[in-house]
Structure 1
Amino acid sequence: MSTVIYATPVFKKVRYNRKVEEDGGKRDEREEVVYESADGVRDERISFQAHERGPQVQDPPPVQRKSFRAAALCLGVLCLLMMVGLIILSVRHFSVTLEKENLETRYNDLNKTYTELKDNKSSLTVNYKTLSKNHSLLQDEVKMLNNIIEEGKLCPKGWKRFGSSYYFKSTEKKSWYDSRYDCQSRGSDLVSINSKEEQEFVTKFLLSKNEESWIGLRTKQSHQRGPYMYMWEWVDGSSLTETFWARDPYPSQYYHATCCDRQGQWTQTHYNDKKTWICEKQISSFT
């Protein structure tokens, strides 16, 4: 069985304007009914709507769409790289800032340590000077104690020490030559006084009041001055550097020197006179 579909007729009125001959000056207007099918009307409506919407934008061709996609992809990659770079820079900035703070802390600690060390150095310098001074004093004390010990060990009974020599004062009285012989028997000789300090020591510690003792000063013939001219000389062969005479002596073969008068000065006495004597011996010669 077949079905017949009839299209509903659509009609519309259309107004026509018709011009007559220009010379006639007449104008004829009339309406006519035009019958159209539904399809035709629909096509006409669509065309009219399209005309009202304006021109349609056509889709770009496939090649242009690929170019847009590639550009968008590149832009996305660049954005991603920029984000990664910003993250790296942020991390780096944080690390540098942290390192800077650590360095500042270390610098402050080192500066504080330096100040403390500087103060300690000053204190140590003061302590060193004090210790050096005490060390020198202790060395002097040790030296003095060693001298006392050596004197106690090496000095025979009756000897006294001054400088680098030991001295002996006799209680007997003999002539100058016998006195010298006694000193030589003790491994020494009559004293030779070569300085003011030694003179003061002999006067203060070895001589009794109002007593003179033989010393190692004698007369010796001087052939340069003449056959009967004499000069003073110490028994050890040294010349006089300092003299402490009470009055100017006259050297002769019969007179030798003694020490000392009441003022602690030398006098000239005949060598056969009986007097006490003073012996001197170097420390290095003690055994």
Structure 2
Amino acid sequence: MKMVYHGEDRVYGNIPDVSARSEDRKGAAAEAGIKRYRLAVVILGILCVIQAAVIIFLLLSLLSERREFERTKLDVEAGFKNLTEEREDLKRKLNSLAQGGWEYFSGSFYYISSIEKTWKGSRDDCIQKGADLVIINSKIEEDFIRKSQKIVWIGLTDSETEGTWKWVDGTPLNESYWASEEPNGGETENCGNTFHYEKENSLNDSPCSMSHSGICEVKVRP
């Protein structure tokens, strides 16, 4: 404010200092501008931090997906290699079976031994060949076996529990092809064979100590 007076009477009065107010307004405006600038800088900094975090997250996710892809690729390649090796091994096995007197029928190879042995001896021979005594799963398979016109040991026994007939893989006998009045040997006849091969249903129970040929089976498909 400026002091104003006139003549000898010295009349005083307050006159607003316009220039001071203008300076105050300019200072306030400058301070507000600085605050806005600082706020903008802070917001920009936060946005940069968020952006950097998002980029880092995306990069980590991309790297993780890449690693997962590489693992999957390696697993697929390993699986393919194993399948190829299994296929080649199966080919060699099939060729060996075909050249060794085995006969193919409906997903399995069969071999009838020329030497007659006990049920256990026949089974041991099959196991040494990488097979086992035959498990009959259907009537057509039983008919196929009957065509040999021989009494052969099959993979059926009730040695563990009398009257409970099981196949050599442990599964129970569900569909049976017993000949009429068979099985009838009780505790003395615990092993199955095709004694009645000339009949529609050929299975028979006999003492396991008897000597017969055995029929081995190797499954090449489920």
Q: Structure 1 length normalisation: TM-score? A: 0.40
Greater Rg over alpha carbons, structure: 1
| Paired amino acid for 1:268 | D
Cα distance in structure 2, aligned partners of 1:153 and 1:219: 33
Count of aligned pairs between the two proteins: 128
Task: Supply the distance in 1 between the matched residues of 2:204 and 2:189 (Cα, whole angstroms).
Answer: 14
How big is the shift at 1:174?
0.6
- Out of 186, 199, 211, the residue aligned to residue 263 of structure 1 is 199
Q: Which whole-Å CA distance do the structure 2 matches of 1:269 and 1:193 have between them?
A: 17
- Name the structure 2 match of 1:142: none
Alignment partner, residue 221 of structure 1 = 160
Q: Confirm whether residue 279 of structure 1 aligns to residue 186 of structure 2.
A: no
Instruction: Verify the 8 A CA contact 1:221 1:230 in the aligned structure 2.
Output: no
Partners of 1:221 and 1:179 in 2: how far apart?
Answer: 18
How far is the alpha carbon of 1:230 from its aligned partner?
A: 3.6
From 148, 151, 168, give the equivalent of 1:235. 168
Letter of the structure 1 residue corresponding to residue 219 of structure 2: Q
- Higher mean alpha-carbon deviation, 159-168 vs 263-272, is at 263-272
How far does the alpha carbon of each residue in 1:184-219 deviate from its partner, in whole angstroms, 9 at most, with x for none?
Answer: 000000001010011111112xx23xx311001011
Larger strand proportion, structure 1 or 2? 1
Question: Could you tell me whether the CA contact under 8 Å between 2:118 and 2:208 is conserved in 1?
Answer: yes
Task: Mark the CA change 1:160 to 1:240 in structure 2 (over 3 Å): closer, same or farther.
Answer: same
Whether the 8 Å contact between 2:159 and 2:190 is mirrored in structure 1 is: no
TM-score by length of 2: 0.51
Which whole-Å CA distance do the structure 1 matches of 2:209 and 2:97 have between them?
33
Structure 1 CA distance, aligned partners of 2:215 and 2:102? 10
Structure 2 equivalent of residue 200 of structure 1: 143
- Once the two structures are superposed, residues 67-88 of structure 1 have per-residue CA deviations (whole angstroms, 9 ceiling, x without a partner) of xxxxxxxxxxxxxxxxxxxxxx
Q: Which has the higher contact order (CA 8 A, sep 6+)?
A: 2
User: Percent same amino acid among aligned pairs?
Assistant: 33
Structure 2 residues without counterparts, runs of 5 or longer:
1-92
Q: In 2, distance between residues paired with 1:154 and 1:213? A: 20
Q: Which residue of 100, 103, 122 maps to 1:157?
A: 100
- CA positional deviation for 1:273: 0.7
